[in-house]
Amino acid sequence: MKKLAKIITSALTMTSALSFAAPQMLAAGSNLVTANPEAEVDYNGTLSILTKFGSQQHSPFFEKVAEQYSGLHPSVSFELIQETDDSVKGKTKTLVATNSMPDIFFSWTGTWGGNFIRGNRAVDLTPVVGSGTEWGATFTPAALNAFSYGGKNFGVPLYLDAKFMGYNKTIFADLGIERPTTFDALLDACDTINAAGIVPVSFGNKEAWPAVHYAGQLLVYNVPVDTLEQDFDPKISKFDHPGYVTALDQFRAFIEHCTSGAPNGTSYEAAVQAFSDEKAAMYYQEIIEFDGSANSDTELQPEEFGYFVLPAPEDAQGDPHAIEGAPEGYMVSATSDQIPLAIDFLKFLTTQKMGKVLSASPYGQPSAVIGGSDPQAMNASVVAGMADIDEASYLMPWLDTVHHPRVAATWLSGLQALVGGSMSSEELIAAVRETSAAAKN
């Protein structure tokens, strides 16, 4: 009971960092700001944009798009707030707390995006990008629908994302290892690699969210999708399916067989670097990281890079054809005094031309725009990964963005404890269940 109380307390503390929404923001609002498709665009002033392109590899993209837009409209300038996958959460919280949200801001789907909507922070874009609109028809339907809440479209998808296990083909070939097609085969491969004195999988969980991605993929393999989606909602959640504990036990086995050192003390970036430096045989990564993991500037060369979907257990009770992932995109601030200009820029950002630039190296971000990619100019692994995403039966949302903030925080802190060996699978699910029950009100 002490462990359970400690993890729930830790989760509630983390909620302040994860949940950028003030209490009043979580309540349903009524003063909805809706885009006007007939509004005239005033090509003057400064557009502020919060991106998730803060890395050295990705930051030039928005800089170049902004420069091109200003070339067409010289009286428009930009303030780019470029953050990374990890820092964007804290930056968003700060901007919301100070009521200084930029004109355009990055958002995940699920509850993360829903918080903006319930607080009237995001513009209803349905009249300009919803079903039946010319702009809306340019996006992959599943990506556009992921930003739909209550039948209204509040976000513009920029790229598709999903999680895959990247691996070093040379190491696998030297050790006579075939690409694993079952979870047990993955554990066996890890044992072989470990026996050769090589780290099987580089894993950094200092930021807590990397473990969430492993858990999400294993959960959708072991728990039916309809049960998972029921449990996303605290009002009807139960978290009583045995597949939850089974999935977490599998994750514990993965930690034992496939990782080394202290994952909770290792940063996500250090784990990426270890794989790129050929100090580890595998690294579980997003498709948007393929180009950064192996290129002309890394020890791991593109021809040595391979990937596979984290394999499902042979007796999976959930969906063995699902993949962990979700589209990511941008919203327009309801407090912006330049809503027509912000929308016009987003239209410019999401053309096929820009999609092909975004999808190609060095960015490697699969565009959510139909026809927004040129396979001849793209990393072959990204092209193949996009095909896998298209064929997936279901995209399992990130646990830390699809759940209620308190529940998400419990997953984050609880999985860190699981990885560190201080919490069992049963204790973690009990903590999640209790937090979800408390979040019903």
Dmax (CA) of the chain: 66
Read off the pLDDT of residues 82-135 as tens digits, 9 standing for 90 and up. 999 889 999 999 999 999 999 999 999 999 999 999 889 999 999 999 989 999
Torsional class of 162: left (φ above 0), alpha (ψ -120 to 50), beta (otherwise):
beta
Average pLDDT over residues 299-323: 96
Q: Is the peptide bond before 362 cis (omega within 30 degrees of 0)?
A: yes
* Fold annotation for 32-161+327-372: D-Maltodextrin-Binding Protein; domain 2 (3.40.190)
Model pLDDT, residue 14: 34
Candidates 32, 246, 314, 24; CA nearest to 153 is 32
pLDDT tens-digit map of 234-270: 999 999 999 999 999 999 999 999 999 999 999 999 9
- pLDDT tens-place string over residues 406-415: 999 999 999 9
What would the pLDDT profile of 361-409 be if each residue is shown by its tens digit? Answer: 999 999 999 999 999 999 999 999 999 998 999 999 999 999 999 999 9
Domain residues of the chain, as ranges? 32-161+327-372, 163-324+399-438
Instruction: Give the pLDDT score at 11.
Output: 39
Residue the block writes with tokens 């950028």: 20
**Secondary structure (3-state) at 320:** coil
Per the rule left: phi > 0, alpha: psi between -120 and 50, beta: everything else, 240 is: alpha
Q: Supply the mean pLDDT for the chain.
A: 92
Q: pTM here?
A: 0.87
pLDDT tens track for 9-38: 333 333 333 332 222 333 335 689 999 999
Reported as a single tens digit per residue, the pLDDT across 130-151 is 989 999 999 999 899 999 999 9
The CATH architecture of the domain made up of 163-324+399-438 is: 3-Layer(aba) Sandwich (3.40)
Whether 32-161+327-372 shares its CATH topology with 163-324+399-438 is answered yes
Distance CA 217, CA 219 (A): 5
DSSP letter assigned to residue 182: S
Q: What are phi and psi of 284, to 5 degrees?
A: -80, 115
